[in-house]
Amino acid sequence: MNTFPDIDFDLGQYIDDFVNWLTDNLGVVFDVLSDAIIWSFQLSSSFLLWLPWWVIIAVVFLLGWRLIRLWTGLIFAIFIFMIGAFGYWELMMDTVSIILASVIISLIVGIPIGIFMAYKDRFERFMKPILDAMQTMPTFVYLIPAMMLFGLGVVPGMFATIIYAIPPVIRLTNLAIRNVSKEMVEAADSFGSSTSQILLKVQLPQALPTIMTGINQTTMMALAMVVVASMVGAQGLGLEVLSALQQIDIATGFEAGISIVFLAIILDRLSQSVAEKYKYSD
């Protein structure tokens, strides 16, 4: 029962009208975005599928060994081998391609926004509530406008993934730039450095460890969207989990689910180790 019978503020209808206006008037823009997203996915997917399976396992082993330790590299190699043994090699490559393309696009867009926020206090105050809403909004909500703007398939799934995963790298880039020692910035300025030189030669190198932490969080949030994105047709292991859920197939659901866990462990540990190496080298 409506406790406010005389008040009817249909905000959702306004949002629906706005999205319809976007599709009617900016269709060309969204077509270009769709082409760019699908191109990035197909490029990474075709490259990963072109590589022999043993090369990928060897690369994962070497990364785990050199960045962490020998036993970690062996465990990572076993994880990748097991995913292939489950019969999910191509699905794993699709999942990695979605994550890789989504993270790269998030970094290309997010890092400049974070830098601009660090330089402009008003822009930071404007962006903070937007980032709060992006991080607290239920993930399924992103799929609705994504489907209306891009239809079904990998594009809306990647679009929703980018929107969900981009806030950490924006926040931590902004925080990292602001936390750079003011004395270092003032010293560079006193020697006649321009704003761009201060940014590139002083602030970004000092801020890099924190930015790498933001990249790690963005990567993990992109991986967390794998199953959700499959609901609108995104390919990969998430689609296998969704299919198993619909058919109540426990065996398939476990194998696909544990494969996502293996990927999460590998991506998390590798990206964390890179961030820590930058931190200690600093």
Tens of pLDDT, residue by residue over 168-217, are: 999 999 999 988 888 888 888 787 778 788 888 888 888 888 888 888 88
Its pTM stands at 0.84
- Domain regions of the chain by residue span: 11-279
Of the candidates 32, 231, 26, the residue with the CA atom closest to the CA atom of residue 144: 231
What angle separates helix 167-178 from helix 204-224, to the nearest 10 degrees?
160
pLDDT computed for residue 282 by the predictor: 53
Please check the confidence at residue 23 and state whether its pLDDT lies above 80.
no
Predicted confidence (pLDDT) per residue in 57-104, tens digit: 999 999 999 888 899 999 999 999 999 999 899 989 988 888 888 899
Residue 82 in contact with residue 93, Cβ under 8 Å? Answer: no
pLDDT computed for residue 6 by the predictor: 60
Residue 231 in contact with residue 246, Cβ under 8 Å? Answer: no
pLDDT computed for residue 173 by the predictor: 92
pLDDT computed for residue 248 by the predictor: 82
Q: Which CATH class is domain 11-279?
A: mainly alpha
| Averaged confidence pLDDT in the chain | 84
Q: Which two tokens stand for residue 226?
A: 């794998």
Please check the confidence at residue 20 and state whether its pLDDT lies above 80.
no
Q: Which two tokens stand for residue 36?
A: 């760019």
- Residue 194: Cβ-neighbour burial (10 angstroms; 0-12, 13-18, 19+): exposed
Q: What is the CA radius of gyration of the chain?
A: 22
Q: List b or e across 227-238, with b for residues whose CB sees 16 or more CB atoms inside 10 angstroms.
A: bbbbbbebbbbb
Please check the confidence at residue 224 and state whether its pLDDT lies above 70.
yes
Q: List b or e across 124-147, with b for residues whose CB sees 16 or more CB atoms inside 10 angstroms.
A: beebeeebeebeeeebeebbebbb
6-10, 135-139, 252-256: the lowest-pLDDT one: 6-10
Residue 238 in contact with residue 247, Cβ under 8 Å? Answer: no
pLDDT computed for residue 167 by the predictor: 92
d(CA 70, CA 63): 10
Helix (H) or strand (E) holding 135: helix 121-136
Query: How confident is residue 134, by pLDDT bands cut at 50, 70 and 90?
Result: confident
